[in-house]
Amino acid sequence: MKSTTLKAIAVAAILAVTTGWNPARPSAAPAVETGLAPASIGVLAFAPDGVLFAADPDAATVYALDLGDQSAGGKAGAADVAAIDQKMAALLGTESGAVLVRDLAIHPKTKNAYISVMRGTGAEAKPALLRVDGDGKIAAIALDRVKYTKVTLPNPPAAAPGNRNPRADTITDMAFTNGRLVISGLSNEEFSSKLRSVAYPFTSAEPGTSVEIFHGNHGRLETRSPVYTFMPYSIGGKPFIIASYTCTPLVRFPIDSLTGTSKVVGTTIAELGAGNRPLDMVLYSKGGREFLLMSNNSRGVMKIPTAAFGTAPGITEKVQSETGGIAYEKITSMQGIEQLDLLDAERSIVLARTPAGLNLSAVALP
């Protein structure tokens, strides 16, 4: 997830201490509801206190879930589980081919893994949220038992039949930082690519900020392709978003520009190769250096040094090769990675596709 656990906690602390950036929180909390029955489930993001944000792209809504006693009881951590797709399918009473994994996130306190899935296909698909504990036990979270609040995003794209349903990209990623939930996705507006910064506890969501980038591989400005994965990042004591798009530009945006009242142009700091879609990213440190680790659907896992994130000049002309700007190292030991999150300071947790199925594994950070 798309993933925002250790990285969200660390970045939130950095921003609070170094910048004093602390947008006012709403004075009245929204009503707490029960009996949740979402139309769909997508990306996940944890707040440092264990509140789980779950996207429902079909309803253009984000739920803030209080997991209560359903987040306790299992062994801490997340154990390796081979062929987890088959085990999840058995738990849900279906075949592994009918289970579509949407995201993976690690609970900031228990370190259990939470996996959002859709069971079935088409109009019959149903959402499910699963937890994997330190013994590898898989449990289904009873969504109708959780307490929750919600926020619905204005101006979502209209649903359309087929494989390119734009409603599926209403919410493509989320990250919680310094009391706000940042949400990427599409709207139904002319400049449809959006970044939204929503205060939590929820009251309402603004229309969002339209974002524009120069795509070096395509040699043109773009406003319609959504951010597919991103993370909060501090540059010079100021809060930014480091975001990635299909084909695969890496872009920085200042968070304080996400006011919902104007269009913002991001700075493209890298082109990581065409014909590729980013899937997930995490931030970590090793050997005194900091790196971004990003999974992709066709170019493997990329290890990108962050030292130049704040100083790299923007790419403003068509790149003459497949890549440009900040360079990356391909981690050949990490194959088939579809989702990842930080488990601790030395390991990531990944969902990796193999010929035998989908495996959940803890792997050392490269």
Q: Show Cβ contacts of residue 36 under 8 Å, excluding neighbours closer than 6 positions.
A: 63, 65, 143, 144, 146, 148
Segment 105-128, tens digit of pLDDT: 999 999 999 999 999 987 889 999
Q: Are 33 and 149 in contact (CB under 8 A)?
A: yes
Within-domain flag for 29: no
Within-domain flag for 315: yes
Within-domain flag for 289: yes
Within-domain flag for 113: yes
Domain residues for the domain of 218 are: 6-21+34-364
CATH number at residue 186: 2.130.10
Q: How many domains does the chain have?
A: 1
Within-domain flag for 26: no
Within-domain flag for 1: no
Residues of the chain with pLDDT under 70: 1-30, 162-163
32, with CB counted inside 10 A (0-12, 13-18, 19+), is: exposed
Supply the pLDDT for residue 14. 37
Within-domain flag for 201: yes
Within-domain flag for 28: no
359, with CB counted inside 10 A (0-12, 13-18, 19+), is: middle
Supply the pLDDT for residue 162. 66
